[in-house]
Amino acid sequence: MENWHLIVGLGNPGAEYARTRHNVGFVVVERLAQRWQAPWTYEKRFNARVARAEVAGKRLLLCQPQTYMNASGESVGPLVAFYRVPLAQLLVVVDDADLPLGQLRLRPEGSSGGHHGLESLEHHLGSRAYARLRVGIGRQPGTRQIAGYVLGRFSSTEAALADKVLTVAADQAETWAVAGIQKAMNQFNGTVAGSASEGKEQ
């Protein structure tokens, strides 16, 4: 059987951060674990919650680092090394304030874009050559200061769209694992149907 595929959802541990915009990565991998009936276990050596599944003949690992966002690489680096996960078989799901809510963007590699979780991964992996699925959370209108915004929860008017987007993001991550990144990009990148920004994707 081939090597493991690893899907990492970035976020912050603890009830006070649950369901915040910054934690959309956590929510996506939780939905996959539920879909695949993969139980979570806390693995102390990685300081991470890990779930295992087999889907369409692929061995899949799901991970939620428990280090807090800015130190995510401290969990993911050792996990990648222990399971000998090729970087081509690593996907990181992360929030992106530069994309409006409703947009998904999967890329095979790229820069951190100033995201501290991705910066930590790049430092500990020694590479940026891994796939990342950016889930748009938008920005607070009229300000560049986003710390309070990303740590807030989706508003009542955003909740239904956010729920739909996170389900589609889980579909995209599953397609990446089962059918490859090209199909996952072609099928899902862009604006999720029904969102306010639909039709505005360039």
pLDDT band at 176 (very low <50, low <70, confident <90, very high): very high
Residue bearing the bigger pLDDT, 198 or 72: 72
The whole-chain average pLDDT of the chain stands at: 90
Do residues 42 and 183 touch, judged by C-beta distance below 8 A?
A: no
In a domain, 133, yes or no: yes
> How far apart, in Å, are the Cα atoms of 27 and each of 70, 145, 190?
18, 24, 20
The band of 168, judged by pLDDT with boundaries at 50, 70 and 90, is very high
pLDDT tens-place string over residues 116-146: 999 999 999 999 999 999 999 987 665 555 6
**Considering the domain boundaries, does residue 138 fall inside one?**
yes
In a domain, 181, yes or no: yes
Would 197 be classed as within a structural domain? Answer: no
Q: Under 8 Å CB-to-CB from 172, ≥6 apart: which residues? A: 104, 106, 133, 184, 187, 188
Q: Which of 22, 116, 123, 124 is catalytic?
A: 22
Provide the domain limits for residue 65.
5-191
How many domains, the chain? Answer: 1
Residue 196 falls inside a structural domain: no
Give the pLDDT score at 113. Answer: 84
Q: Find out whether 76 and 65 touch, Cβ atoms under 8 Å.
A: yes
Residue 200's pLDDT band (cuts 50, 70, 90): very low
Residue 93 pLDDT more than 80? yes
Is residue 22 annotated as a catalytic residue, yes or no?
A: yes
Residue 131 tokens read as 């796939």
Kindly report the pTM of this predicted structure.
0.92
Average pLDDT over residues 39-59: 97
Each residue's pLDDT tens digit, 6-40: 999 999 999 999 988 889 999 999 999 999 999 99
Query: Would residue 159 count as lying in a domain?
Result: yes
CATH number at residue 48: 3.40.50.1470
- pLDDT attached to residue 155: 84
Residue 75 lies in a domain: yes
Whether 17 maps to a domain, the answer reads: yes
